[in-house]
Amino acid sequence: MLQKPAHIDCIRIFLQGLVQGVGFRPYVYRLANQFNLKGTVCNHNQGVEIFVEGEKSIVDLFLKELYKNLPPRSRIDQTDLEEWNFTGFKDFRIVKSINYLKEITNVSPDIAVCEECLKDREKQPHRISYPFINCTNCGPRFSIIQDIPYDRERTTMKVFQMCDTCTREFSNVSDRRYHAQPIACNLCGPRYTFQPENETISDYEEMVVKVSALLKNGDIVAVKGIGGFHLACDALSEKAVSLLREKKRREEKPFAVMFPDIESIEKYAFLRLGEKELLESWKRPIVILKQRSSLAPSVSNGLNTVGAFLPYMPFHYDIFKRFPHPLVMTSGNLSDEPICISNEHAYEKLSGITSFFVFHNREIANRVDDSVAVIINEKPRIIRRSRGYCPEPVKTNLNLEGIFAAGAELVNSFAIGKDSSAILSQYIGDLKNYDTSLFYKESVQRFNKLFKFNPKLVAHDLHPDYWSTRFAQSIDLPCIEVQHHHAHVAACMAENHLDEKVIGIAFDGTGYGTDGNSWGGEFLVADLSGFERINHFDYYRLPGGDQAVKEPWRIAVALLYKYYGADLLKMDIPFLKEVPKSKLNLVLQALEKRINAPLTSSAGRLFDAVSALTGLCLSSSFQAQAPMLLENAMDPSVDEKYPAGFSKPINLKKLFDGILEDLYNQVPVSIISARFHNTLVDLALCQVNWMAKNFNIHKIVLSGGCFQNAYLLSKLENKLLQSNYQVYSHTAIPTNDGGIALGQMVVAAKRREM
């Protein structure tokens, strides 16, 4: 061992967090050289390891500087600093990644193209107009990675041999592309090809001109992006959008719209606090905004919101330069199937929709849909967590190592536990769809490999018929069952670092209960290991089971039947006249004989019922359409409510008395809707007051799909805060079933400890 000179300091710095694929090593390299320090920096599966040697005072300065100008996308979660043996380094170097098995580091999510790269496309001779430009601060990451550590040879960029210029930049520390793994240029990188009908155009400029012209003409174009295909068309052309709807057989669900820039968004939507920032963030999610003026009517189909996002690939910018119209950019798939990622598959699946295909030859290793977020009470809330967010881990204070959480059924996402982090998968989708279940299996395998994950324990939903439950049980490992709403509440607790007894409110569509009924309007006293169901909405029936979810009028009839019996036939309510007599009689029979009419305490289905009762939505064509229309119709300035109060189980007769009376008096639906929402808030507040007094708990956790309803969440949150409760809701993880896996995981971790 070398003798350490007295004035020299030798330290090892170990950084964990989002430190790979974000330009961290070059940053450290430049800084060390600036201070003339010697040593090394290297990527690890677990983080970044730095050794520095130099004068004590200089090393101190270096450490101070290190945190000051971190690369924009990086995030440090933990720093370990220790004295180290003297090596006598001659210079400062970036050394080869070390692959320690069993340990992981963060894989960066995909990053929108940065401003500097957009400028470089105008001045770098080898990158003039180059559409796959990227740098250490931007470009594809998760979507191209096949294994770790994150180096080019373990990404789908491996097949592109770097040209001399790119190689020089890649190895030049003062270059913006120093060690940018997906580095590429016009000479050596991936390319687009355009296939309109029988020709193939490989010239990029020519392609952009043609594609813009097609969009202008009202045509639909399929475009390969970062994490999958989009179907694009002019969002101002009703003809184009309705054609897309017809061909995609996605009757009414709103389409996402990409706008050329923030100014054009402001023309069509209101921007409130935080929304501009979220839209412009490098994650570039779709953000649900209040509409100001209308796009083509078929885009949002009667809803007063629009899912807006900004360009995040050079190709998007190039199209907007020639055709500065808002564009529908919806996922390139058929109804419930996963979004297409390969050229062949897209061609096969989407040929019925368009004959214009923009392909590129950078393979997508991991499918990632566009993420969806919304701002409620000034906080961003993620609704669909995929591109830009996945696979960022959720840190907890629990030992999650080796736990696989299978997730739920709809809007599925699974999770794996590494150390104290939960890594949630990208949005998978509805597992009832066969192709989606294949995507699930593939992704599980990919995550196992990518994060060197070795499952030891499996957590899954209580529902025996969920595909994810059966998948979990097919793994030859010990299983832990977690009740759906306990998982919802636990997910929110984990996200907010709570590990104690709380009052959990789960307002949800459906979830299998411990009594075999379908739950969803639940008041729990819960901690991470277990829960007690303190109260719930009084059970009512879902005539026809799943059919009732598609036909909310059935639920309305069931609730009327529950509270008024056969008298409902004498009621003069408009929606009843719209239901065919024969169908109505069948439903009444089912209710009377209790055949195929399972019991539920669902809060979500109450929104369905009221939506039908007020004539807004008798049958729905996509998930949550009825509640969305009900929220949409509301006049938020109305503060009144129907009589409620405390009861056990929670009796809703007075609520329905009030709605019926309003209907007889022809009170506008905007007011009925507001009164209904306010009543639910009031009911919840009454419950909380009662529970807080009886259990002496003042932390309130809100979870479940219903809290995607902005009015419900913000009003309840505010009322609870005004009553001096501590309130916790979801921000980084979906409040819908996309967040369930996190809850399953922490519950399993806690039970494993016991």
Where does this chain bind Zn ion (CB under 5 A)? 114, 117, 135, 137-138, 163, 166, 185, 187-188
Nearer to Zn ion by Cβ, of 111 and 236: the residue is 111
Least distance to Fe ion from the beta carbon of 735, Å?
9
What is the crossing angle of helices 625-633 and 710-722, to 10°?
Answer: 60
Nearer to Zn ion by Cβ, of 171 and 335: the residue is 171
Nearer to Zn ion by Cβ, of 191 and 750: the residue is 191
For residue 337, state whether it binds Fe ion (rule: CB under 5 A): no
Least distance to Fe ion from the beta carbon of 508, Å?
4
Interaction partner, residue 135 (Fe ion, Zn ion, none; CB < 5-8 Å by kind): Zn ion
Interaction partner, residue 166 (Zn ion, Fe ion, none; CB < 5-8 Å by kind): Zn ion
Nearer to Zn ion by Cβ, of 116 and 635: the residue is 116
Residue with tokens 């800084």, as numbered in its chain? 31
Interaction partner, residue 118 (Fe ion, Zn ion, none; CB < 5-8 Å by kind): none
Interaction partner, residue 136 (Fe ion, Zn ion, none; CB < 5-8 Å by kind): none
Q: Which amino acid is at 421?
A: S
Least distance to Fe ion from the beta carbon of 520, Å?
7
Least distance to Fe ion from the beta carbon of 411, Å?
9
Interaction partner, residue 114 (Fe ion, Zn ion, none; CB < 5-8 Å by kind): Zn ion
CA distance 176 to 137: 8
Nearer to Zn ion by Cβ, of 173 and 638: the residue is 173
Nearer to Zn ion by Cβ, of 125 and 580: the residue is 125
The candidate with the shortest Cα–Cα distance to 454, out of 426, 417, 480, 479, is 417
Least distance to Fe ion from the beta carbon of 387, Å?
23
Interaction partner, residue 373 (Fe ion, Zn ion, none; CB < 5-8 Å by kind): none
Least distance to Zn ion from the beta carbon of 135, Å?
3
Least distance to Zn ion from the beta carbon of 314, Å?
10
Site string for Fe ion, 499-518 (x = CB under 5 A): ---------x--x-------
What is the crossing angle of helices 581-593 and 552-564, to 10°?
Answer: 50
Nearer to Fe ion by Cβ, of 511 and 552: the residue is 511
Nearer to Zn ion by Cβ, of 81 and 187: the residue is 187
Interaction partner, residue 542 (Zn ion, Fe ion, none; CB < 5-8 Å by kind): none
Nearer to Fe ion by Cβ, of 597 and 624: the residue is 624
The candidate with the shortest Cα–Cα distance to 467, out of 406, 403, 517, is 406
Least distance to Zn ion from the beta carbon of 115, Å?
8
Interaction partner, residue 508 (Zn ion, Fe ion, none; CB < 5-8 Å by kind): Fe ion
3-state secondary structure of 300: coil
Provide the token pair at 743: 């809850």
Nearer to Fe ion by Cβ, of 658 and 739: the residue is 739
CA distance 67 to 47: 16
Least distance to Zn ion from the beta carbon of 359, Å?
21
Least distance to Fe ion from the beta carbon of 321, Å?
43
Nearer to Zn ion by Cβ, of 166 and 587: the residue is 166
Nearer to Zn ion by Cβ, of 117 and 415: the residue is 117
Interaction partner, residue 443 (Zn ion, Fe ion, none; CB < 5-8 Å by kind): none
Provide the token pair at 497: 């670092």
Q: Output the residue with the shortest Cβ distance to Fe ion.
A: 508
Cis peptide bond N-terminal to 649, omega within 30: yes
Least distance to Zn ion from the beta carbon of 197, Å?
32
Q: Which amino acid is at 219?
A: D
Interaction partner, residue 655 (Zn ion, Fe ion, none; CB < 5-8 Å by kind): none
CA distances from 272 to 251, 268, 293, 370 (A): 30, 13, 15, 22
Interaction partner, residue 737 (Fe ion, Zn ion, none; CB < 5-8 Å by kind): Fe ion
- DSSP characters over 481-506: EE-HHHHHHHHHHHHTT--S-EEEEE
Which residues contact residue 729 at a Cβ distance below 8 angstroms, ignoring those fewer than 6 apart? Answer: 381, 492, 701, 702, 703, 707, 713, 717, 735
Torsion angle of the four alpha carbons 336, 340, 345, 347, in this order, in degrees rounded to the nearest 10: 100
Nearer to Fe ion by Cβ, of 512 and 553: the residue is 512
Nearer to Zn ion by Cβ, of 36 and 69: the residue is 69
- DSSP characters over 199-244: --B--HHHHHHHHHHHHHTT--EEEE-SSSEEEEEETT-HHHHHHH
Interaction partner, residue 104 (Fe ion, Zn ion, none; CB < 5-8 Å by kind): none
Q: Are 746 and 400 in contact (CB under 8 A)?
A: yes
Q: Are 520 and 602 in contact (CB under 8 A)?
A: yes
Q: Are 93 and 51 in contact (CB under 8 A)?
A: no
Query: How many other C-beta atoms lie within 10 A of the C-beta of residue 152?
Result: 17
Q: Which of residues 594-633 bind Fe ion (CB under 5 A)?
A: none
Least distance to Zn ion from the beta carbon of 189, Å?
6
Interaction partner, residue 201 (Fe ion, Zn ion, none; CB < 5-8 Å by kind): none
Interaction partner, residue 185 (Fe ion, Zn ion, none; CB < 5-8 Å by kind): Zn ion
Strand order in the sheet with 38-43: 75-83, 8-18, 48-55, 38-43, 92-94
| Pairing outcome for strands 192-196 and 256-258 | unpaired
Least distance to Zn ion from the beta carbon of 130, Å?
9
Interaction partner, residue 534 (Fe ion, Zn ion, none; CB < 5-8 Å by kind): none
Nearer to Zn ion by Cβ, of 25 and 730: the residue is 25
CA distance 482 to 511: 11
Residue with tokens 């004035």, as numbered in its chain? 7
Q: Which of residues 129-188 bind Fe ion (CB under 5 A)?
A: none
Site string for Fe ion, 717-746 (x = CB under 5 A): --------------------x---------
Interaction partner, residue 364 (Fe ion, Zn ion, none; CB < 5-8 Å by kind): none
Strand order in the sheet with 394-395: 394-395, 421-424, 415-418, 403-405, 457-461, 479-482
* Chain-centroid distance, C-alpha 528: 23
Q: Which of residues 633-652 bind Fe ion (CB under 5 A)?
A: none
Nearer to Zn ion by Cβ, of 40 and 155: the residue is 155
Q: Which amino acid is at 453?
A: F
CA distances from 375 to 271, 329, 382, 716 (A): 10, 21, 9, 15
Q: What angle do CA 591, 595, 599 make, to 5 degrees?
A: 70
Q: What angle do CA 66, 70, 72 make, to 5 degrees?
A: 175
Least distance to Zn ion from the beta carbon of 241, Å?
33
Least distance to Zn ion from the beta carbon of 575, Å?
55
Number of shown-chain residues binding Fe ion (CB under 5 A): 3
For 405-460, what is the HEC assignment?
ECCCCCCECCEEEECCEEEECCCCECCCCHHHHHHHHHHHHHHHHHCCCCCCEEEE
Longest dimension (CA), the chain: 98
Least distance to Fe ion from the beta carbon of 51, Å?
48
3-state secondary structure of 740: helix
Least distance to Fe ion from the beta carbon of 648, Å?
23
Interaction partner, residue 571 (Zn ion, Fe ion, none; CB < 5-8 Å by kind): none
CA distance 185 to 167: 11
Nearer to Zn ion by Cβ, of 185 and 375: the residue is 185
What is the crossing angle of helices 710-722 and 669-695, to 10°?
Answer: 40
**Binding site residues, Fe ion, CB under 5 A:** 508, 511, 737
